[in-house]
Amino acid sequence: MTTYNESIHYDKRMYLADILGSKVYATSLHQRNIITAHELSELHRGLDLVHAEWANDTFAISPGVDEDIHTANERRLGELIGKGIAGKLHTGRSRNDQVATDTRIWLRDTLDEIESALVDLLRAHLGRAEADLDAIMPGYTHLQRAQPIRWSHWLMSHTYYFTDDLTRLRQLRIRVNRCPLGSGALAGNPFAVDRAFLATELGFDSVIGNSLVGVADRDFVAETMMWGSLFMSHVSRWAEDLILYSTQEFGFVKLADAYSTGSSLMPQKKNPDSLELLRGKSGRVFGQMVGFMYTLKALPSTYNKDLQEDKEPLFDTTRTLLDSTRIATGVLSTLSINREKMLAALTMDMLATDLADYLVRKGVPFRETHHISGAAVSLAENEGLSGIDKLGLDKLRTLSPKFDEDVMQVFNFEHSVEMRSAVGGTARESVLRQIGEVKALLRD
């Protein structure tokens, strides 16, 4: 039962958050004349010594005694400064509000790391979008070639998903960064500690206004996992596109050797393992979230030991998120694109919509132009031509008298993408506008 109950082997990573919370709580006890100035000084000195042991990797965990990071730190503090003074630190404080405080501090700082990594990923997208602005490739719907787009337009499509993820992450951090310390076991603190002081000193944005919520709320853990699941679904879709684009069938991109591996059997193979792992780990993050939601869904008020099950999935999720974001940045920053292969994948039938749009500008209703353009594609196929551009003006006029000599301008891929200059389109001007919008958000 002792082994089953212990969490020290994984929650020890919160040692700094626990020590910070204890130092500030000791100060609040001194403010209420619960401990003397000397006792406060000794508590701070001892906690600094405990911190140094963790930082230097010399802290010796006592098996069967150190149930969790809180009891471990308290036990060692008593050994360093004496149990008499150390025993006063827990006055009015419960492990219930202590663990909630530690988790929020640790998670807040971890989310800051993830945000920094996500900003790097966004900047990598912006850099590649600017550098490769002139590359044109097929855009796909239903995995079928649809219309020409800029490679940078594809990059920016994923940038927008990741930008929304960044916005949501910043909103999530606000809800994480609320102070539960001073809630006691569940009913509140009996020594009138200044909770606003505790919150300010620990870097929280606000105080949780209900002590029952303070000790029992784990919505912030669940929301972090939900955020991570959505973010990783975006990473997975991004990775899937690049996996396809890196195949010999596409040949649009080539991954750097650092982010791909060879086959154990086939020497000619170069596998996109980094991207496949990113795609696979999205399921891992989603699974952690679902598992914790099952733990959380039917708990009675307020604190229950079940809540200890928040740590391992949270730690695993945030580690996966941070690593995955950094790997994605590395993949994108180091891959190379093959502009020739992208151009070679473009076919004239992808300009069928442009042909219809040409007739619209001549005054023909779109539904009619759609039919005419489809007839042009069929005619070219029936006559064994390589594309609708080979039909010539005379044959096009058999489909509609509105075709004129300027129709040949339609059969140009650069012209096609430049025609789509409305906000959100694939024209150079539009893509540059998208890049500017995301740059502005990052500056803000």
**H helix count then E strand count, the chain:** 19, 6
How far is 233 from 167, CA to CA, in rounded Å?
Answer: 16
CB crowding 423-439: b at 16 or more within 10 Å, else e: eebbbbebbeebbeebe
Question: How do strand 206-207 and strand 178-179 relate by DSSP bridges?
Answer: parallel
Length of the chain: 444
How far is 134 from 414, CA to CA, in rounded Å?
Answer: 9
How far is 314 from 287, CA to CA, in rounded Å?
Answer: 11
Residues 345, 248 contacting (CB under 8 angstroms): no
| Residues that are catalytic | 142, 263
Within 10 A of 9 (CB to CB), how many other CB atoms are there?
11
Q: Which residues contact 266 (CB under 8 A, 6 or more apart)?
A: none
Residues 175, 107 contacting (CB under 8 angstroms): no
The pair of structure tokens assigned to 254 is: 């080539």
Within 10 A of 335 (CB to CB), how many other CB atoms are there?
21
How far is 232 from 278, CA to CA, in rounded Å?
Answer: 8
